[in-house]
Amino acid sequence: MQGFKQFILRGNVVDLAVGIAIGAAFNGIVTAVVKDIITPLTGAIFHVPNFSNIAVPINGSTLALGDVLNQIISFIIIAVVIYFLIVLPMNKLIEMSRRHDKPADPTEKKCPECLSEIPVAATRCAYCTQPQPARV
Protein backbone atom coordinates (compact mmCIF):
# COMPACT_ATOMS: atom_id res chain seq x y z
CA MET A 1 0.00 0.00 0.00
CA GLN A 2 2.93 2.34 0.73
CA GLY A 3 4.27 1.94 -2.83
CA PHE A 4 0.86 2.78 -4.29
CA LYS A 5 0.63 5.88 -2.08
CA GLN A 6 4.05 7.06 -3.29
CA PHE A 7 3.05 6.42 -6.91
CA ILE A 8 -0.17 8.43 -6.59
CA LEU A 9 1.53 11.31 -4.81
CA ARG A 10 4.25 11.68 -7.44
CA GLY A 11 4.19 15.01 -9.21
CA ASN A 12 3.75 13.62 -12.71
CA VAL A 13 0.65 11.58 -11.78
CA VAL A 14 -0.99 14.63 -10.21
CA ASP A 15 0.01 16.78 -13.20
CA LEU A 16 -1.51 14.22 -15.56
CA ALA A 17 -4.77 14.18 -13.59
CA VAL A 18 -4.95 17.97 -13.63
CA GLY A 19 -4.22 17.99 -17.38
CA ILE A 20 -7.01 15.50 -18.06
CA ALA A 21 -9.49 17.52 -15.99
CA ILE A 22 -8.55 20.75 -17.75
CA GLY A 23 -8.69 18.98 -21.12
CA ALA A 24 -12.21 17.75 -20.39
CA ALA A 25 -13.30 21.27 -19.43
CA PHE A 26 -11.61 22.68 -22.53
CA ASN A 27 -13.40 20.08 -24.66
CA GLY A 28 -16.73 21.31 -23.30
CA ILE A 29 -15.87 24.89 -24.22
CA VAL A 30 -14.75 24.00 -27.73
CA THR A 31 -17.79 21.80 -28.31
CA ALA A 32 -20.07 24.67 -27.24
CA VAL A 33 -18.24 27.13 -29.49
CA VAL A 34 -18.50 24.80 -32.47
CA LYS A 35 -22.13 23.87 -31.81
CA ASP A 36 -23.44 27.33 -30.90
CA ILE A 37 -21.26 29.72 -32.92
CA ILE A 38 -19.19 28.16 -35.71
CA THR A 39 -21.79 25.71 -37.02
CA PRO A 40 -24.57 28.35 -37.28
CA LEU A 41 -22.20 30.83 -38.94
CA THR A 42 -20.97 28.25 -41.42
CA GLY A 43 -24.54 27.07 -41.95
CA ALA A 44 -25.63 30.64 -42.68
CA ILE A 45 -22.85 31.02 -45.25
CA PHE A 46 -23.75 27.75 -47.00
CA HIS A 47 -27.52 28.18 -46.37
CA VAL A 48 -27.71 25.10 -44.14
CA PRO A 49 -29.01 25.97 -40.66
CA ASN A 50 -27.52 22.98 -38.84
CA PHE A 51 -24.98 20.45 -40.05
CA SER A 52 -26.27 17.74 -37.73
CA ASN A 53 -29.41 17.52 -39.89
CA ILE A 54 -27.42 16.57 -42.99
CA ALA A 55 -27.96 12.89 -43.71
CA VAL A 56 -27.79 10.68 -46.78
CA PRO A 57 -30.16 7.70 -47.07
CA ILE A 58 -28.59 4.56 -48.59
CA ASN A 59 -30.58 1.32 -48.95
CA GLY A 60 -32.75 1.98 -45.92
CA SER A 61 -29.81 3.20 -43.78
CA THR A 62 -28.93 6.77 -42.99
CA LEU A 63 -25.44 8.20 -43.02
CA ALA A 64 -25.29 11.10 -40.54
CA LEU A 65 -22.76 13.20 -42.44
CA GLY A 66 -23.68 16.33 -40.48
CA ASP A 67 -22.45 14.88 -37.20
CA VAL A 68 -19.19 13.83 -38.83
CA LEU A 69 -18.81 17.31 -40.32
CA ASN A 70 -19.43 18.88 -36.89
CA GLN A 71 -16.72 16.65 -35.37
CA ILE A 72 -14.27 17.53 -38.15
CA ILE A 73 -14.89 21.25 -37.59
CA SER A 74 -14.47 20.73 -33.85
CA PHE A 75 -11.17 18.91 -34.39
CA ILE A 76 -9.85 21.68 -36.66
CA ILE A 77 -10.81 24.37 -34.16
CA ILE A 78 -9.17 22.46 -31.30
CA ALA A 79 -6.00 22.00 -33.35
CA VAL A 80 -5.89 25.69 -34.29
CA VAL A 81 -6.52 26.86 -30.73
CA ILE A 82 -3.91 24.50 -29.28
CA TYR A 83 -1.35 25.55 -31.89
CA PHE A 84 -1.83 29.31 -31.62
CA LEU A 85 -2.61 29.60 -27.90
CA ILE A 86 -0.37 26.87 -26.47
CA VAL A 87 2.32 25.58 -28.87
CA LEU A 88 3.50 28.91 -30.35
CA PRO A 89 3.68 30.76 -27.00
CA MET A 90 5.49 27.81 -25.37
CA ASN A 91 7.98 27.68 -28.25
CA LYS A 92 8.61 31.41 -27.82
CA LEU A 93 9.16 30.99 -24.07
CA ILE A 94 11.54 28.08 -24.64
CA GLU A 95 13.43 30.07 -27.27
CA MET A 96 13.69 33.08 -24.94
CA SER A 97 14.94 30.94 -22.06
CA ARG A 98 17.57 29.35 -24.32
CA ARG A 99 18.83 32.79 -25.29
CA HIS A 100 19.15 33.81 -21.64
CA ASP A 101 20.77 30.51 -20.64
CA LYS A 102 23.57 30.82 -23.20
CA PRO A 103 26.84 30.63 -21.25
CA ALA A 104 29.25 33.54 -21.42
CA ASP A 105 32.51 33.13 -23.26
CA PRO A 106 35.18 31.72 -20.96
CA THR A 107 37.72 34.18 -19.58
CA GLU A 108 40.22 31.57 -18.43
CA LYS A 109 41.76 28.38 -19.80
CA LYS A 110 43.93 25.60 -18.41
CA CYS A 111 47.61 25.48 -19.20
CA PRO A 112 48.24 22.11 -20.90
CA GLU A 113 51.60 21.75 -19.06
CA CYS A 114 50.85 22.64 -15.41
CA LEU A 115 46.99 22.69 -15.54
CA SER A 116 46.78 26.07 -13.81
CA GLU A 117 44.10 28.61 -14.79
CA ILE A 118 45.39 31.42 -17.00
CA PRO A 119 43.63 34.17 -19.02
CA VAL A 120 42.37 33.10 -22.43
CA ALA A 121 44.42 35.78 -24.20
CA ALA A 122 47.69 34.69 -22.52
CA THR A 123 50.45 33.55 -24.87
CA ARG A 124 52.62 32.18 -22.04
CA CYS A 125 51.68 30.54 -18.74
CA ALA A 126 52.34 32.78 -15.71
CA TYR A 127 53.14 29.76 -13.56
CA CYS A 128 55.33 27.48 -15.69
CA THR A 129 56.23 30.00 -18.46
CA GLN A 130 55.36 27.52 -21.23
CA PRO A 131 54.20 29.05 -24.54
CA GLN A 132 50.47 28.62 -25.06
CA PRO A 133 48.85 27.42 -28.27
CA ALA A 134 47.19 30.09 -30.36
CA ARG A 135 43.50 30.48 -29.65
CA VAL A 136 41.28 29.26 -32.46
Cα–Cα distance list, 41 to 19, 33, 73, 113, 117 (Å): 31, 11, 12, 77, 71
Instruction: For the chain, 136 residues long, give each residue's pLDDT as a single digit of tens.
Output: 888 777 777 767 777 888 898 888 888 887 787 778 877 787 788 776 667 778 889 998 988 888 888 788 778 877 887 788 778 988 898 888 777 766 778 889 999 889 899 998 888 998 898 898 876 5
Domain spanning 2-100: which CATH class is it, in words? mainly alpha
CA 115/CA 106 separation, integer angstroms: 16
What's the pTM value of the predicted model, to 2 decimals? Answer: 0.48
For the chain, residues classed under CATH 1.10.1200.120 are 2-100
